[in-house]
Amino acid sequence: MVGDQSALSPFEPSEMRCPDCRSARVGTCDVCPSCDSTAVERRDVLEHFDCGCVQPRSAFEADAGYVCPKCRTNLGSFGVDFARIGVVYDCATCSSRFGPNDRQPVCLACESGTKRTGENGLRHGSATALYEQVSQTPLLERGSE
């Protein structure tokens, strides 16, 4: 049922379909919001409690453990001197840094990339795949038809 999505209730089961091959095997991947590249690397972000330095883990890594890049203090115990407070993503294509909320749908059947166009569908070029309502007919009723 592709068409007017205003008729779908937000509580009705639905599935997303690929605009190219119509497969429902749609997954997600991290995509740079600046250049749409999927060449992104996830990095843990650490905070040094004493000086408040917040940087990706790689900035703290030293030959013999962790050293704060701001105050140059050797960091001892995780959870006492420093902690992981989140993640960031770095784009290898355009060097931008962004948060973890930039996931985009990708078809697992034909591997085409898609882009979200609001809450009700996907856009790929000029094609649009919409959320389609899933039949709510119980399996036992279907078998008796």
Per-residue pLDDT of 7-17, as tens digits, reads 555 566 777 77
To the question of pTM greater than 0.75 for the whole model, the response is no
Cβ 65 vs Cβ 81: under 8 Å:
no
Residues 76 and 24 in one domain: no
Same domain, 8 and 23: yes
132 with 112, same domain? yes
Domain count for the chain, please give it: 2
Which of 68, 84, 100 is the last residue in one of the domains? 100
pLDDT digits (tens, 9 = 90+) for 68-108: 999 999 998 999 999 999 999 999 999 999 888 767 777 88
Query: Which residues are bridge partners to 91 per DSSP?
Result: 40
- Domain hosting 46: range is 39-100
Residues 46 and 96 in one domain: yes
Same domain for 12 and 24?
A: yes
